[in-house]
Amino acid sequence: MNDWIDIAPVEAVPQRGARLIKTVHGCVAVFRTATDEVFALDNACPHKNGPLAEGIVHGASVTCPLHNWVISLETGVVQGQDEGQVATYPAKVSDGRIYLGAAFLTRRAVA
| Structural domains present in the chain | 4-103 (2.102.10.10)
Q: What gap in Å lies between CA 12 and CA 100, rounded to an integer?
A: 14
CA distances from 53 to 2, 3, 19, 75, 111 (A): 26, 24, 6, 16, 19
The tens-digit pLDDT sequence of the chain (111 residues) is 468 989 899 999 999 999 998 877 778 999 999 999 999 999 999 999 999 999 999 999 999 999 999 999 999 999 999 999 999 999 999 999 999 987 765 544 443
Pairing of strands 61-63, 56-58: antiparallel
